[in-house]
Amino acid sequence: MPKAAYRTPVLVLTLLGASAFAGDTFRCGSKLIEPGMTQSEVLAQCGEPTSRIVEDQDVRSGTRVVGTTR
């Protein structure tokens, strides 16, 4: 098999991986914000938000409520 035939699947897999990663990030100005960043890290990159919505949600184990999270 010619070398070019090996490059196409590698290129396709690379692009698929990059697009999956890109879907998990967003931009704040010119900075990338990624899953797993702490609130402090995001605030350092983006600054304070212009508005906030704070919600309390139930934490469940099966059908039983075992606590709340904000």
Domain boundaries, the chain: 24-49
User: pLDDT category, 40, cuts 50, 70, 90?
Assistant: very high
What percentage of the chain has pLDDT greater than the value 90? 37
User: pLDDT category, 18, cuts 50, 70, 90?
Assistant: very low
Strands 57-61 and 64-69: antiparallel
For the chain, give the mean pLDDT. Answer: 77
pTM of the model: 0.45
What average pLDDT does this structure show over 36-56?
91
More confident residue, 66 or 13: 66
Helix (DSSP H) and strand (DSSP E) numbers for the chain: 2, 4
Q: Give the number of other CB atoms < 10 A from CB of residue 33.
A: 15
